[in-house]
Chain A
Amino acid sequence: MKIGIALMCCLGALLPLAATSQPSVVVPTAQAAERSLGDWLTRMHEASRARAYVGTFVVSSGSSMSSARIWHVCDGEQQMERIETLTGTPRATFRRNDQVVTFYPDTRVAVAERRESLGWFPNRLLSADAAMARYYALQALGNARVAGVETDVVHLQPRDGLRYAYRIWAEKKSGLVVKLQTRSADGQVLEQAAFSELQIDAPVSMARLAVMMAATEGYQVQRPDRVKTSPEAVGWALKTAVPGFESTAVYLRPAAAGEVRRDDTVQWIFSDGLATVSLFIEPFDPRRHAQTELPASGPTQMLMRRVVDHWLTAVGEVPVATLSAFAQALERRK
């Protein structure tokens, strides 16, 4: 593990993005300091709606690192995106607003789905702002240069021990997020994602992306058969709420024929506006369900518990204590 960390340090040093992990010039501009959390988030969302760009995106988490080539375009109403991974299994993800198609050229499989949670609803943002300000303190850290552009740096420090800190680098003019760090309470960087190279206002053809996204010929198109439901309908509840986290969605994934699972799996999703927790609940099976905790990779933690005759797998970009709080609060209402 130590070797892994050392290697990450070496790799990190090779990347230009690591060079700016501390903002070099700490001169908070009056404008940057005055913005509220809501202003920041709205600006960042607007940036993705109003700008076209092409770039290389790098994510390093724990001891692994991934990168992808990004094409992003919008016409005021529609956003389109193409993400082609440069590491690991080749895959290309296309997104038109909340419609997402992922192509796996090796297996000739294309997964088409709708991602409701990709919310770009200004109303939701505003309500999230008030709640988020109770759990995160905003701090402007000045300016830094990332991927060749000048950015404002903001830090979101959690006010309790149930979440991680975030540091965001947003391009000065547009507010486009060019770098993002997830940090532990003691300031250790758990994950960072950044553009290593970025061309803003690049010519990207929406029509061409649309053609590529629709080119599923020769691919077996799969549509995830999950059903949106409610906690009441699946018979689960939380005895006590985990501070700051609100239920955002519940999905039921039916067990497919021939699968190891014998019954449906419930996925109950919570969010505090920045961090997300998924509770997966399935019938307990002593042959498969024994492990109770797993070493974390980057910010993502996992925790397993037996809850009556069910098995809970809690996953989230939160400290393990938060997952424990969820596990203790979960109860059967059926």
Chain B
Amino acid sequence: MTTQWAPDTAESASALVDGQLPGEAAAPALDWLCQTPEGRLHWQTCHMVGEVLRSGQASSPARDAAFLHRLQARLALEAVAGSPPFAPDSIADQSVTTGVLAPFVSVPAAANDALFRWRLVAGVAALALVALLGWQSRDAAGPLLAVQAPEAGPIAAPSATAPLETAALGDAPTPLRMLRDPQLDALLAAHKQLGGGSALPMPAGFLRNATFEGSGR
């Protein structure tokens, strides 16, 4: 893991394609791949090599380049509009007056457009579910999870629901935390420490108590 990856080498890009580039080294490699023409060409070559190895057939990189070009043009337009690509309000607003969705009009509708719309609906529903779960666990855990409650109803912006979700996952409410009585915590700790009178094979009991952090100290 101590290998230093030079950001502008084809080697690091190949490693990235293979999923073998360590986290901190991936950023410069990605920059190189995204921002230089050689990088893009290399990215396509790497994938083409992979595809040939897997399927025995090569696809034309020119088609990819055309697609990439169109995608970039659209992304640039969206960036100008200054709206997050999947913010609920931009999804809900189908009036196409902001210009955000205008480029889609000039392009023939994709065959899976309807499916895409359903995915959006599913995405919004999933967000709502996460918000709801976050809301419930917040109620259950009281002040522990009092992180920005979404005030705008069940459909909240992704940025507001994300911390709620991680809080619920990472800090599951434990009944012991509710004690809030240092004296009881101390008794519990004393029991764990001295209550090792178990005939259970020693490392197991001792390891368990040394590892386990009941209510924190």
Q: Are B211 and A62 in contact (CB under 8 A)?
A: no
A4 to B137, CA, bound (A): 9
User: Cβ of A280 < 8 Å from any Cβ of B?
Assistant: yes
Is A260 engaged at the interface, CB distance under 8 Å to the other chain? yes
Contact with A along B184-217 (1 / 0, CB 8 A): 1001101101111111111110111011111011
Task: Check A66/B213 contact, CB under 8 A, given A280-B190, A297-B175.
Answer: yes
Contact B198 A180 (CB under 8 A): no
Instruction: Judge if B179 is at the interface, Cβ distance under 8 Å.
Output: yes
Q: Number of A interface residues, CB 8 Å?
A: 79
Q: Is A128 an interface residue (CB 8 A)?
A: yes
Please give the distance in Å from A297's CB to the nearest CB on chain B.
Answer: 5
Q: B169, B178, B211: which contacts A68 (Cβ < 8 A)?
A: B211
Q: Is A64 an interface residue (CB 8 A)?
A: yes
List residues of chain A with CB within 8 A of the CB of B210: 68, 83, 85, 93, 102
Q: Known contacts A63-B173, A115-B193, A276-B191: does B211 contact A166 (CB below 8 Å)?
A: no
Please give, as numbers and ranges, the residues of chain A lying within 8 Å of B207 by CB-CB distance: 57, 68, 70, 81, 83, 193
The residues of B that contact A1 with a CB separation of less than 8 Å are: 140
Inside 8 A of B211's CB, which chain A residues have their CB?
Answer: 57-59, 66-68, 83, 85, 193
- Residues in chain B near residue A67, CB distance under 8 A: 211
Dominant SS among interface residues on chain A: strand
- Output the nearest chain B residue to A115 by Cβ-Cβ distance: B196
Given contacts A83-B210, A316-B191, contact A118 B200 (CB under 8 A): no
Q: Inside 8 A of A119's CB, which chain B residues have their CB?
A: 197, 199, 202
**A151 CB–B CB distance under 8 Å:** no
Q: Which of B92-125 contact A (CB under 8 A)?
A: none
Tell whether B131 is near chain A: CB-to-CB under 8 Å. Answer: no
The interface residues of chain B lying within 8 Å CB-to-CB of A166 are 200
Residue B55, interface by CB 8 Å? no
The 10 sampled A-B contact pairs (Cβ below 8 Å) are A3-B168, A63-B172, A175-B201, A176-B203, A260-B183, A267-B191, A277-B195, A278-B195, A280-B187, A294-B175
Known: A83-B210, A102-B210, A297-B214. 11 other contacts (CB 8 A): A41-B200, A44-B204, A64-B176, A70-B207, A89-B213, A118-B196, A175-B201, A267-B194, A273-B199, A274-B199, A276-B197
| A interface with B by C-beta (< 8 Å) | 1, 3-4, 7-8, 41, 44-45, 47-48, 57-59, 61-64, 66-68, 70, 72, 81, 83, 85, 87-89, 93, 95, 102, 104, 113, 115, 117-120, 124-125, 128-129, 132, 166, 168, 170, 175-177, 180, 193, 248-249, 251, 253, 260-261, 265, 267, 269-271, 273-278, 280, 288, 294-297, 300, 302, 313, 315-316
